[in-house]
Copies of this chain bind each other. A is one copy, B any other.
């Protein structure tokens, strides 16, 4: 058993969808979350920039003696994970592998839609990982550059969000599963649902990671505390809409600990603790 915290890294608030799922299943774990709001959005940046930012993020989290890091960001996973996971001695987990594992074991899924940032789609990381295990899959990639900024603006269920999702979902109606390849997108789940055939599965990568965490880390890396864990949230720039989106995302449930954690962290410089 290991009571050190788990580190989580995202370009902003989106990774809280993963945070929420992990905490739901492992409420006793301590979490250090770093949102790189200074460099948000990652989706339109080059691979080189994203690798550098991800390294900086990981090195910040390492100062907290974390036992593992979850890259809770689709773009950073797809563009940087392959590079960074070999640079550090602790396990580094992205949002792709657990989902790909799940899909590879579900032979009733044939046609897969992937919605994600432009950078993630350009990397082809999702499609190539899926086809390696399931070469029979039909895959449709769809970059949705505006959805993460819309989520940060809090427009996740108004007419504009509906039209934007409808626009992006053209040609994706009859997929068997839709992978939300950006951690902001679970905020639009209800609208995605309206643009899918009945029974299509919507895959929240946070749920997949939470279901798979014990496999990934091994039992001896989980904590054995019997009380609720602590969270600390660090941002690299002002919190902007972080709290209001977090509120929506967590259905107000966990918001006051986040508010407290943020109180300590905001305006913190990226490279200092």
What is A's interface to B at a CB cutoff of 8 Å? 37-41, 44-46, 49, 118, 145-146, 149-150, 152-153, 155, 158-160, 163-164, 167, 237-238, 240-241, 267
Pick the contact of A145: B38, B153, B267 (CB < 8 A). B153
Query: Contacts of A118 on B, CB cut-off 8 Å?
Result: 240
Complex interface: chain B residues within 8 A of A46 (CB):
38, 237-238, 267
B159 touches A163 (CB 8 A): yes
A37 to B145, CA, bound (A): 15
CA distance A38 to B118 in the complex (A): 14
The CA-CA distance from A267 to B49 in the complex, in Å, is: 11
Q: How far is the CA of A160 from the CA of B163 in the complex (A)?
A: 6
A-B contact pairs, 24 of them (CB 8 A): A37-B44, A38-B45, A38-B46, A38-B49, A41-B149, A44-B152, A44-B240, A44-B241, A45-B237, A45-B238, A46-B237, A46-B238, A46-B267, A49-B237, A145-B149, A145-B152, A146-B146, A146-B149, A146-B155, A149-B149, A160-B160, A160-B163, A160-B164, A160-B167
Closest partner residue, chain B, to A38 (CB atom): B49
Give the docked Cα–Cα distance between A146 and B158 (Å): 14
Residues of B within 8 A of A44 (CB): 37, 40, 152, 240-241
Contacts of A158 in B (CB 8 A): 167
Q: How far is the CB of A98 from chain B (nearest CB, A)?
A: 29
Q: Determine the distance from Cα of A45 to Cα of B241 in the docked complex, in whole angstroms.
A: 11
Please, how many angstroms separate the alpha-carbon atoms of A37 and B49 in the complex?
A: 11
Residues of B within 8 A of A155 (CB): 146
Chain B residues near A45 (CB-CB < 8 A): 38, 237-238
Within 8 Å CB of A49, what residues of B? Answer: 38, 237
- Complex Cα distance, B39 from A40, in Å, reads 8
Identity of the chain B residue whose Cβ is nearest the Cβ of A237 in the assembled complex: B46
- Distance between A169 CB and nearest chain B CB, rounded to angstroms: 13
Assembly CA distance A38 to B46 (angstroms): 8
Q: Give min CB distance, A245 to chain B, whole Å.
A: 12
How far does the alpha carbon of A41 sit from the alpha carbon of B153 in the complex, in Å?
13
Q: Which residues of B contact A150 (CB under 8 A)?
A: 146
Please, how many angstroms separate the alpha-carbon atoms of A66 and B39 in the complex?
Answer: 29
Alpha-carbon distance between A237 and B150 when the two chains are bound, in angstroms = 23
Instruction: Quote the shortest CB–CB distance from A78 to chain B (angstroms).
Output: 15
- Closest beta carbon of chain B to A87's beta carbon, Å: 22
Please give me the residue from chain B that is nearest to A267 by CB atom. B46
By Cβ-Cβ distance, the 7 closest A-B pairs, closest first, are: A149-B149, A46-B238, A160-B163, A46-B237, A44-B240, A145-B153, A146-B153
